[in-house]
Amino acid sequence: MKVLDLLCALDHSFEGWFGSEDDFQSQLVRGLVQCPLCGSAEVRKALSAPRLNLRGGSAHEPRDGPATVPEPRAAEPVQPHAPAYALQAAWLQLARQVLAHTEDVGERFATEARRMHHGDVQKRGIRGQATAQETAQLLDEGIAVFPLLLPDAAKNPLQ
């Protein structure tokens, strides 16, 4: 298994697991590798440090018998952008919460938002698509809306 540190066009960093370098390249060419934060398929490899698993005893023992040598611990993965990872994880968690607690009304978003605002239907959490013009009109009418990009990766469990 090959684990790669990846970056999208917006420099969001994430990890990808592939069977081989050829597997990674094949998926990349087919547009299957996407940023879990923004959904961009423009992905490149980032510099990464290898993770070394240092288990086992000493290769050299002194002549007067074996010495007691503490067993080395596995190296911790290097995460130079730990705050960025934490922010991305929080963003994905928020996106999944929005998905779990709202109804997708698709292109009917503006219509449904107006119907709820005017009391024609019961108020509930909704999400969907609206043009910039529709969003501006809703805001002008006093209807609170919030543009939120939800990448496809947030809609399913990451593998």
Spell out the domain ranges in the chain: 1-51+80-101, 102-148
Q: Torsions phi, psi of 34, nearest 5?
A: -130, 150
Positions in the chain whose pLDDT score sits under 50: 58-70, 72, 78, 159
Q: In the prediction, which pLDDT does 79 show?
A: 52
Q: Torsions phi, psi of 82, nearest 5?
A: -55, -45
Residue 121 and residue 74: Cα distance in Å, rounded? Answer: 58
Its pTM surpasses 0.85 = no
Q: How far is CA 32 from CA 61, 71, 108, 129, 150, in A?
A: 51, 41, 29, 24, 17
Residue 105 and residue 69: Cα distance in Å, rounded? Answer: 64
Q: In the prediction, which pLDDT does 159 show?
A: 47
